[in-house]
Amino acid sequence: MNHFEFEYPYLFLALLLIICIYKCPKSIQEIIFPHTHLFSTKTSILQLEKLLYSAIVALIVTALASPISYDQKSSNKRKGRDLVFALDTSGSMAERGFDKEDRDKKKFDILNSLLKEFIAKRHDDNVGVSIFGSYAYSAVPLTYDMSSLEFLLDFFEVGIAGDSTAIGEGIAAATRVIEAGEAKKKVIILVTDGYQNSGAISIKAATKKAKELDIKIYAIGIGKKSDYDFKLLSLISSETNAKAFQATSAEILKDVYIELDSLEPSSIRSEHYLNKHVLYMFPLTLALLLMLFILLRFRGRSI
């Protein structure tokens, strides 16, 4: 697909010089336009000389703004992975005291902040998000646009999907998101602070489906160890050839994300092609032709 733009559009401010051709005092005109004697003394705005000067200025400014056309292509064979976060937004995620340095912060707010730091390092991954509480839904489809993803994370809050915990539904929703991707490596990062007490889909069935699709599930239990079933989370991860983690504090959760980054690295950026064609020669050539026309037309005048 062809695109067109100016590399330095702010230079169009120089078009204000055209106003000076008509309105500035002669002393100022002589500074900007050395051959002001070519301007007729007639008062009509449609004088040929001034129109030609105006056109020349406009064309030169257009050339300086550097018009370009380009074809932009990105390789479809990216070497990253499809990665989906299944985030628990149940009522218990509003608990405070998880961060020893700031005990007023909610668990979910801390999770959100660390999640933003984590995805900022995913150079070539396709990332999505599913949300679960009493029920689950696909919140963000797979995207390479990490800045947009970070923006959308600010709209998630505790209780957005109900106050209960449907882990099976959360895994199933994340699986639906990741099925749309085409990467060979597929990963779900499940984060929860509770036991399954809601939802129509069992954890066993959801995990089986993910395993059939060769999806790894890294499970993270956050908060007090008694708040969630770590044996179950470990089983989910081991069934999908992944690993489970326990994070009893914000500091440990940060370390978990660091370890995840090493287990599932994303260090290779995608190939990106920009076939650019510079077009400044067209307006510049036309401007030179107009200058030549002026010289030939008014050569009988004294210069």
Judged against a pLDDT cut of 60, whether residue 34 lies above it is answered with no
More confident residue, 124 or 116: 116
pLDDT of residue 147: 87
pLDDT of residue 133: 95
More confident residue, 175 or 180: 175
Q: What percent of the chain has pLDDT over 70?
A: 82
Pure H helices in 203-280: 203-212, 230-239, 250-263
Asked whether the beta carbons of 198 and 163 are under 8 A apart, the reply is: no
pLDDT of residue 270: 47
At 33, the pLDDT band (50, 70, 90 cuts) reads: low
pLDDT of residue 109: 93
Asked whether the beta carbons of 106 and 94 are under 8 A apart, the reply is: yes
pLDDT of residue 277: 81
Parse the chain into domains and list their residue ranges.
2-72+273-297, 82-263
pLDDT of residue 187: 95
Q: For residue 257, which phi and psi values (nearest 5 degrees)?
A: -65, -35
State whether residue 245 is helix, strand or coil: strand
Asked whether the beta carbons of 148 and 83 are under 8 A apart, the reply is: no
pLDDT of residue 301: 54
Asked whether the beta carbons of 225 and 244 are under 8 A apart, the reply is: no
C-alpha 232/C-alpha 205 separation (Å) is 13
* pTM across the whole model: 0.63
pLDDT of residue 62: 92
Asked whether the beta carbons of 161 and 134 are under 8 A apart, the reply is: yes
| Strand order through the sheet with 136-143 | 136-143, 126-132, 82-88, 186-192, 215-222, 244-247
Identify the bridge partners of residue 132 per DSSP, sorted by sequence position: 88, 136
pLDDT digits (tens, 9 = 90+) for 69-79: 877 555 444 45
pLDDT digits (tens, 9 = 90+) for 228-284: 999 999 999 999 999 999 999 999 999 998 898 888 876 444 445 556 788 889 989
Q: Name residues whose C-beta falls within 8 Å of residue 21's C-beta, 6 or more positions apart in sequence.
A: 29, 33, 39, 50, 53, 54, 57
Least trusted range by pLDDT, from 16-20, 208-212, 299-303? 299-303
Nearest residue to 61 (alpha-carbon basis) of 12, 17, 6: 12
Task: Count other Cβ atoms within 10 Å, centred on residue 118.
Answer: 19
C-alpha 84/C-alpha 115 separation (Å) is 12
At 303, the pLDDT band (50, 70, 90 cuts) reads: very low
CATH class of the domain comprising 82-263: alpha beta
Task: Count other Cβ atoms within 10 Å, centred on residue 122.
Answer: 19
Judged against a pLDDT cut of 60, whether residue 45 lies above it is answered with no
